[in-house]
A and B are shown apart, each in its own frame.
Chain A
Amino acid sequence: MAPEALQSARDRYEQYKRHRFSGLVSGLVVFGILAALPISLNYQFFGLTLAGFLTVKILIVTLIWAYAAQAWNIMSGFTGQFSFGHAAFFGLGAYATQFLLVGFGVNPWIGMLVGGVVASCYAAIIGALSFRYDVSGHYFALLTLAFAELMRNVVLNVGQLNGPHGFFRPFPEEYASGYGLAAFQFQSDLPYYYLILAFLALVSALAYGIKKSAIGTYFVAIREDEETAASMGIPVSRYKMLGVLVSAFFTAWAGTFWSMYYSTINPESVFNVLRNVEILLPAIIGGPGSILGPIVGSFLVIPLGEWARASFTQIYEMHLLIFGLALILIVMYSPRGVVSWPRRLQEVLGLVGTETQEEDSSSATQEGD
């Protein structure tokens, strides 16, 4: 059906996709666009400017959740261990950073690494216990939620962490030589944007590396069928643990960034039940298990939510309505996420057969656990 030109273009695209550096090139293109985005906000396209819809602040929030979702993806998208408790790691990152910064004047970059290690330790406890006692399905999701709620209640009641009041981020002069990268604080929003973009690039590159390596193959094997993977000689628990640790470590960085960008943290803001959802939302919308998914998903829902929050100032629950509807519709009608839409469109148009599951098929779609 398709004309010759289209056919040859598609062939060339297939060729490109098989090329060794195609991932690198695609990554550069995506991150090139993201890097150019805040600068191009004020350019006129057909009489419209992007600034009407997007601000640098919204872009930063979008990237924070894209980053956190990418970290969540490494555990839940790749290995299929569905976590509903990533707020624990997010909050631990935020709290470790601010506790060390406010209490001991420790530089937030060190705090960030400490936060990552602390979150990984907490994740190791969760992982060790749940894999040891073979917790899966509903029980695993509830268990991760329980660990997140446990952390919220612990922090609420510990006086050294200021209980329900949390911490105020200090001024940079108090622990460094003023604003700048070393202090993790800037006077304008733009440097924050490029910082979180660098974080996102780092964790995306890592996720890509994992996915293309033998580890990624093991992860997917575990996700698809744990028992078969074990019978093939893959040390299942060890690889699941690896996914959990890496995921927690980088999720904590999102907490650090959040605590340095906004001026206060408290248990209700960083360990909130809704945080768990905000972290997995972009990955679910975009397509769990794919690298592009969390980024695409975040750009689809977060700006919309922020826009709703800003436009309906009296109705500040509007963004939750959008998030809720997006979750319901995507999981019910397109559980492989938005990144599967081009393929589905082709299928609908009859350009390709409805064969084979795509390589990027999501954890949320697989039948049977």
Chain B
Amino acid sequence: MTTGGFGMASGPVPLSVVGDLLAPFERLVGDVVSLDPVLVQLLVFGVLLGAIYALIALGLTIIFGVMDVVNFAHGAFVMVAMYVVWYASGTLGVNPFLVIPLAVVFLFVLGVVVHVLTIEPILEAPERNQFIVTFGVLLVIESLVSIIFSPDPRALDLSLGVLAMAGVRIPVGQLLALVAAIGAIGLLWALLYRTDVGRAIRGTAEFRDGARYVGINVFRIDYITFGLGSALAGLAGSVLVLYHNFYPSLGHNYIITAFVIVVLGGLGSLRGAFAGAMIIGLVEVFGGFYFPGSTYKVLIFLVFIAFLLLKPEGLFGGADHGA
């Protein structure tokens, strides 16, 4: 963070509850009024974080769009990709950047295997069964990784350095993650809207039975979609590992954030997942800076609950359910 001041917040903070709640906003308004450069810095960090969230949430939301499955194991996929990059670059002794494609392919395969073994047989079962089974998969993957690699936190220690531009500091690792995220989202868009498989995926998301009538192999679309979603989680994990430490239970931190994002954007909506990811990324960065402790998370969950109750179709749901 820069050493930019806190604006008018440096005075004594009032001890009333209302004061406690308002103080962060007062500081924010003060910073906006005084055009404090810290705002730009926070904006940059928010977008960088949002890009990673977007990758994770896109994978989750396309699986939901096509199969109506809320996939808890998705968080574990992010974590597995981090271990793949770390382990492969360590044993092969190559640059971690070169093993990113390997991790993405590995996660695609893992996704297909998990789907065929555990999800496909119970696709027609009640929703709560899928909920429990995907959580079971999360537990199994996390504990296996923990058993194989120990539960200790690890890091790649790349120290890629920091770019400084006009007083704004951008860590290179996070910048690369942003570039990868933008590239992947572009590729995903091209796949969904410019290829036959993409058309079939969108069609299946729109109307499963209809897709069967026109001769789409829905089983094949299901596992391709699941693999694709996992591969996106894999890409998120393998760029996250460039600057973030990792441990086996990392998955369930990310999965709950990802649920918040996809519900905010509308379960099944790609645009919504992207917008939701940016919103949550910005809220986390600004909230973490201005609010004491992790109070901003209370705010996030209140918004999450409000959306579940009042607008379960999310910001962008309904109009383009599926893709």
Contact = CB atoms under 8 A, between A and B. Distances in A.
B108 interface: no
B225 to A, nearest CB: 17
A150 to B, nearest CB: 4
Interface centre among A157, A316, A365, A366 (most CB of B within 10 A): A157
B132 A323 contact: no
A324 B256 contact: no
A129 B309 contact: yes
A193 interface: no
B295 A157 contact: yes
A206 to B, nearest CB: 24
A320 B135 CA distance: 11
Nearest to A137: B127
A183 B4 CA distance: 54
Interface stretch (B26-34, B142-150, B275-283): B142-150
Contact of B135 (A138, A321, A327, A366): A327
B190 interface: no
A365 B128 CA distance: 9
A139 B129 contact: no
Contacts of B308: 135, 139, 142-143, 146
A367 B126 contact: yes
A335 B121 CA distance: 13
A364 B126 contact: yes
Interface centre among A137, A325, A331 (most CB of B within 10 A): A331
Contact of B133 (A137, A143, A146, A332): A332
Given A328-B133, A328-B140, A150 B302 contact: yes
Interface in B277-323: 292-295, 297-298, 301-302, 304-305, 308-310, 312
B248 interface: yes
A153 B37 CA distance: 30
B252 interface: yes
Interface string A149-186: 11001101100000100000000000000000000000
A189 interface: no
Interface string B254-286: 001001100100010000000000000000000
B136 interface: yes
B259 A142 contact: yes
Given A149-B256, A327-B132, A317 B248 contact: yes
Contacts of B260: 146
B139 interface: yes
B1 interface: no
A353 B5 CA distance: 78
A321 B144 contact: yes
Interface in B15-43: none
A188 to B, nearest CB: 33
A327 B130 CA distance: 11
B100 interface: no
A84 interface: yes
A81 to B, nearest CB: 10
Contact of A324 (B136, B293, B305): B136
B138 interface: yes
Interface in A262-309: 273, 277, 280, 284
B280 to A, nearest CB: 14
A25 to B, nearest CB: 33
A321 B136 contact: no
B140 A157 contact: no
B126 A368 contact: yes
A317 B305 contact: no
Interface in A98-155: 129-130, 133, 135, 137-139, 141-143, 145-147, 149-150, 153-154
Contacts of B248: 317
B126 A320 contact: no
A82 interface: yes
Given A143-B305, A153-B298, A321-B143, A369 B127 contact: yes
A161 to B, nearest CB: 12
Given A327-B139, A369-B127, A284 B132 contact: yes
B143 A320 contact: yes
B95 interface: no
A335 B125 contact: yes
A318 interface: yes
B97 interface: no
Contacts of A315: 146-147
A253 to B, nearest CB: 25
A363 interface: yes
B207 interface: no
Nearest to B132: A331
Contacts of B144: 321
Contacts of A366: 126
B136 A327 contact: yes
A273 B252 contact: yes
Given A82-B131, A324-B136, 13 more contacts: A130-B309, A139-B308, A139-B312, A156-B293, A317-B248, A320-B139, A321-B147, A325-B140, A327-B132, A327-B135, A331-B132, A364-B132, A369-B127
3 closest Cβ pairs, A-B complex? A324-B139, A327-B136, A317-B146
17 contacts: A82-B127, A130-B309, A135-B309, A138-B127, A139-B308, A157-B293, A315-B146, A320-B142, A323-B136, A325-B136, A325-B140, A327-B136, A328-B137, A331-B122, A332-B129, A364-B126, A367-B126
